[in-house]
Amino acid sequence: MRHLLIIDETEAEAGLTPAGDDLYILHDAEGSHEVSFHGYAVRVDDVMDRVAVAVDGNVAYVHLNGRAHRVEFREPVDRFARGGAGGGADAIAAPMPGSVVAVNVEAGQSVAAGQVMMVIESMKLETAIKAPRDAVIETVHVSAGKTFNKGAPLIALVPLEEE
Amino acid sequence: MTRHLPFDTVLVANRGEIALRILRTVKRLGLRGAIVFHAADKGAPAIKAADIAIEIKGPTPVAAFLDGAQIIEAAKTAGAGAIHPGYGFLSENAGFARAVAAAGIAFVGPLPDAIELMGDKVRARKFVADRGFPVAPSAIEDDDPATFVERARAVGAPLLIKPSAGGGGKGMRIVRDLAELDEEIVRARSEGQRYFGDGRLYVERFVENPRHIEVQVMGDGHGNVVHLFERECSVQRRFQKIVEETPSPALTPEQRRDICETAAGIARAADYRNAGTVEFIYGNGEFFFLEMNTRLQVEHPVTEEITGLDLVEIQLLVAAGEMLPVTQETITATGHAIELRIYAESPARGFVPTTGKLLAVQWPEGPGIRMDSGIARGQAVTTAFDPMLAKLIVHGTDRSDAIAKAREALADTILLGCETNVAFLDRLLADEVFVKGEVHTGTLDARPDIAEEPPLTAEETRRVLAAAMLSLRPTRDAADRIPAIHAAIGAWRN
């Protein structure tokens, strides 16, 4: 079975099957490789490399050759969820972590494409969150003064087919 | 310690790596260390290292650290006879320095008047220029329109003509040959008129590929002022320093002596007390005063490494009313030191701050390697404070030795759970522009490729995937559910 993993921002598909004695076969796009992993070292075919790994739920952080990578395991159900329901344009997510300076809209309100819905501040820079299209506001998830992380939902628009 | 200071407890009004670094010296001197903290920093090493920790509150975590009255109250509660403000927050706030003194507590920093003088950029520039120290020559048309062209010529080439009403670089003209000055003024005036409806002009010396060089000074208020050599801090993004080193690779020994003596002279003219930094802009072999920072700087460790002095110790002695424990003749510089600021940020995405939980923290160790860090495993990195996580400081016999040491140390630095600039720092140190010492303050803007994260090779991807898939529950469990006998056909089944 193939798994979908997101390495940093790149998608990768790979399978893993056991080969006995803590050995596994990694099946990636280019072929099959015998692999094993012992806490601080990963072996692929006959080459051993030092790595450091930390796991947080479905995310593994892997340090290799002086660089840290974020590897997220995507549940198959998430893949369907992302593919359907009219695209992500209805959910306005934070482009970077920061705080809310001002909220100019409220639920139920109509906005025109390009209208400034919210002003956020990150790295001492203010950024205007503008409406991507003519829309009706479904939900405002944050209020002025609140801080948020990257990817946090800020505003939801009523999906087009429901308007 | 047999020293008898007029205080036995020092309150650190700061957080993170600098709080921990100050506490280290406080305790080494046999003093008690107190700290104020905000709940956002719960579990931080600096809080654990203090003998007394007092919680402060505010509408935001930063606001708590800017609340001088609350901090002075905490100092009284802790029985502290001195407050060290660190850098940032209230460190250059004259009102706070006065309030601390009025409460009968020693402020570990300069006198309020000096903070005020140097905090006002216009006053500071005039103070420095009036005493004959170099400031970038300039001419403002409005001062006396009749003599403007003459005064502009006196600024010298290369020079920059700017519309007085301008901004964003519009209408600016660089003049490299004074023979073209008259016609360029005419053109700049018409452009200013066109863009801003205002033809008045301003001229200043243009510093090509400017470098940021600063000098550490220390005064005791008893007439003694010394310099502790320079630091070069030209690697910057968004006007914030990333890498600092000493000595500067740009200066000749004569220029080095000049710039250091100029800085000491400025501090002496201001009868400066405690630690300060005189910043200069350097280019075309000339340097000009930019501003003076009236506090301990983030990058002070490189100075400590080459001089062997503890700047916080000297700060505390001076705040206690003592004379400087060193004279200019006894201060020497040995080897080369580099500081790398480790930030929670994404260089590849325009250096935006990143957040996360630190799941793994491993710092490099070894001779000539110093880590000033205020974070520990398990801590959350949020946007509540500055994104600087730690400072890696290396001390080598010479510059190339220091660079090699720094790269080895970066390779041993492991931070997982929050994206950092560690890999970027290594790319920068490996780049010819840094190796040759040719960095100026615009280098990172001119070379965005250094910030770019190179894609993983197929081999690297395979290793990352193997380590991740054998560590993640869903992928490992799925594999372990397959009997090994069936697995043999897996290779061609999918």
DSSP calls for B186-227: HHHHHHHHHHHS---EEEEE--SS-EEEEEEEEEESSS-EEE
Position B493 pLDDT exceeds 60:
no
What pLDDT band is residue A9 in, cutting at 50, 70 and 90? confident
CB contact under 8 A, B468 and A28: no
Write the residue in A32, A53, A70 that is nearest to B491 by C-beta: A32
A-B CB pairs within 8 A amount to 181
Chain A residue numbers with beta carbons less than 8 Å from the beta carbon of B392 are none
Least confident piece of the model among B10-19, B190-199, B437-446: B190-199
B118 occurs within a structural domain: no
> With an 8 Å Cβ cutoff, is A69 touching chain B?
yes
What pLDDT band is residue B462 in, cutting at 50, 70 and 90? very high
Give the CATH class of A3-74. mainly beta
Answer with the one of B173, B205, B237 that is the final residue of a domain: B205
CB contact under 8 A, B426 and A7: no
Tokens of B37: 């903290």
- For B161-192, what is each residue's pLDDT tens digit? 988 877 666 778 889 999 999 999 999 898 88
Q: What pLDDT, on the 0 to 100 scale, is given for residue B458?
A: 94
Same domain, B95 and B227: no
CB contact under 8 A, B471 and A70: no
Report the alpha-carbon distance of residue B439 to residue B52 in Å, rounded. Answer: 44
Same domain, B403 and B324: yes
Same domain, B145 and B89: no
Q: Where in chain A is the domain with CATH 2.40.50.100?
A: 86-158
Q: What is the mean pLDDT of residues B350-368?
A: 95
Q: Give chain A's radius of gyration (CA, Å).
A: 21
B227/A80: higher pLDDT:
B227
Q: What pLDDT, on the 0 to 100 scale, is given for residue A1?
A: 75
Same domain, B382 and B433: yes
**Coil, helix or strand at residue B51:** coil
CB contact under 8 A, B466 and A75: no
Chain A residue numbers with beta carbons less than 8 Å from the beta carbon of B428 are none
Q: Name the nearest CA neighbour of B60 among B356, B379, B383, B376.
A: B383
> With an 8 Å Cβ cutoff, is B419 touching chain A?
yes
Name residue, tokens 């507590």.
B105
What pLDDT band is residue B467 in, cutting at 50, 70 and 90? very high
Best B357, B362, B475 residue to mutate vs chain A (most A CBs within 10 Å): B475
Position B1 pLDDT exceeds 50:
no
CATH number at residue B162: 3.30.1490.20
Query: What are the Cα distances from residue B337, in Å, to A56, A116, B77, B394, B414?
Result: 37, 48, 40, 6, 22
What pLDDT band is residue B491 in, cutting at 50, 70 and 90? very low
Same domain, B154 and B25: no
Half-sphere exposure of B152 (CA within 13 A, CB side): 30
> With an 8 Å Cβ cutoff, is A17 touching chain B?
yes
B380 occurs within a structural domain: yes
B372 occurs within a structural domain: yes
Same domain, B58 and B173: no
pTM: 0.84
B348 occurs within a structural domain: yes
Position A160 pLDDT exceeds 90:
no
Q: What pLDDT, on the 0 to 100 scale, is given for residue A84?
A: 35
Same domain, B388 and B244: yes
Report the alpha-carbon distance of residue B1 to residue B5 in Å, rounded. Answer: 10
Chain B residue numbers with beta carbons less than 8 Å from the beta carbon of A145 are 59
Chain A residue numbers with beta carbons less than 8 Å from the beta carbon of B423 are 66-68
User: What percent of chain B shows pLDDT beyond 90?
Assistant: 86
CATH number at residue B405: 3.30.470.20
Q: What is the mean pLDDT of residues B233-259?
A: 95
Position B423 pLDDT exceeds 90:
yes
Question: How many structural domains compose chain B?
Answer: 3
Q: What is the dihedral of CA B457, B462, B468, B471, to 10 degrees?
A: -150
Q: What is the mean pLDDT of residues B456-478?
A: 96
CB contact under 8 A, B469 and A3: yes
B116 occurs within a structural domain: no
What pLDDT band is residue A55 in, cutting at 50, 70 and 90? very high
On average, the pLDDT of chain B sits at 94
B310: alpha, beta or left? (left if phi > 0; alpha if psi -120 to 50): beta
Report the alpha-carbon distance of residue B429 to residue B433 in Å, rounded. Answer: 9
Interface of A with B in 38-67 (CB under 8 A): 42, 44, 49, 51-56, 58, 60-67
Name residue, tokens 């020497």.
B332
Name the residue type at position B149: V
Q: What is the mean pLDDT of residues B199-228?
A: 95
Answer with the one of B68, B91, B108 that is the final residue of a domain: B108
- For A81-118, what is each residue's pLDDT tens digit? 443 333 345 788 887 788 888 899 999 999 988 888 99
Report the alpha-carbon distance of residue B210 to residue A162 in Å, rounded. Answer: 57
Minimum Cα–Cα distance from B453: chain A residue: A67
Least confident piece of the model among B159-163, B397-401, B440-444: B159-163
Least confident piece of the model among A85-99, A116-130, B94-108, B442-456: A85-99
B400 occurs within a structural domain: yes
Write the residue in B426, B456, B463 that is nearest to A51 by C-beta: B463
Interface of B with A in 100-159 (CB under 8 A): none
> With an 8 Å Cβ cutoff, is A37 touching chain B?
yes
Q: Give chain B's radius of gyration (CA, Å).
A: 26
Position A80 pLDDT exceeds 60:
no
Same domain, B375 and B407: yes
What pLDDT band is residue A75 in, cutting at 50, 70 and 90? confident
CA distance A102 to chain B (A): 16
DSSP class of residue B131? Answer: T
Q: What pLDDT, on the 0 to 100 scale, is given for residue B193?
A: 86
Q: What pLDDT, on the 0 to 100 scale, is given for residue B486?
A: 55
- Structural contact between residues B10 and B34, judged by C-beta atoms closer than 8 angstroms: yes
Q: What pLDDT, on the 0 to 100 scale, is given for residue A89?
A: 58
Tokens of B451: 């910030």
CB contact under 8 A, B463 and A97: no
Chain A residue numbers with beta carbons less than 8 Å from the beta carbon of B427 are none
Q: Name the nearest CA neighbour of B358 among A56, A138, A58.
A: A56
Position A135 pLDDT exceeds 50:
yes
Chain A residue numbers with beta carbons less than 8 Å from the beta carbon of B411 are 66
B465 occurs within a structural domain: no
Q: What is the mean pLDDT of residues B457-473?
A: 96
Chain A residue numbers with beta carbons less than 8 Å from the beta carbon of B465 are 5, 7, 12, 14, 26, 28, 71
Chain A residue numbers with beta carbons less than 8 Å from the beta carbon of B351 are 123
Q: Tell me: cis bond preceding B247? Omega within 30 of 0 counts.
A: yes
- For A27-43, what is each residue's pLDDT tens digit? 998 899 999 999 899 99
- Structural contact between residues B19 and B81, judged by C-beta atoms closer than 8 angstroms: no
Report the alpha-carbon distance of residue B259 to residue B275 in Å, rounded. Answer: 17
Minimum Cα–Cα distance from B464: chain A residue: A62
Q: Where in chain A is the domain with CATH 2.40.128?
A: 3-74
CA distance B354 to chain A (A): 7
Interface of B with A in 236-265 (CB under 8 A): 238
Name residue, tokens 């090779």.
B457
CA distance B433 to chain A (A): 21
Domain range for B395 is 211-450
What pLDDT band is residue B318 in, cutting at 50, 70 and 90? very high
Which residues, including other chains, have CB under 8 Å from residue A117's CB and lie 6 or more apart? A92, A103, A104, A105, A111, A129, A130, A131, A137, A155
- Fold held by A86-158: OB fold (Dihydrolipoamide Acetyltransferase, E2P) (2.40.50)
Same domain, B322 and B409: yes
What pLDDT band is residue B84 in, cutting at 50, 70 and 90? very high
Position A2 pLDDT exceeds 90:
no
Same domain, B103 and B141: no
Q: What is the mean pLDDT of residues B203-224?
A: 95
**Coil, helix or strand at residue B23:** helix
CB contact under 8 A, B494 and A96: no
Q: What is the mean pLDDT of residues B79-108?
A: 97
Same domain, B259 and B374: yes
Same domain, B34 and B142: no
B262 occurs within a structural domain: yes
- Structural contact between residues B228 and B307, judged by C-beta atoms closer than 8 angstroms: yes
CB contact under 8 A, B360 and A52: yes
Q: What pLDDT, on the 0 to 100 scale, is given for residue A95?
A: 76
Report the alpha-carbon distance of residue B388 to residue B57 in Å, rounded. Answer: 22
Q: What pLDDT, on the 0 to 100 scale, is given for residue A82?
A: 41
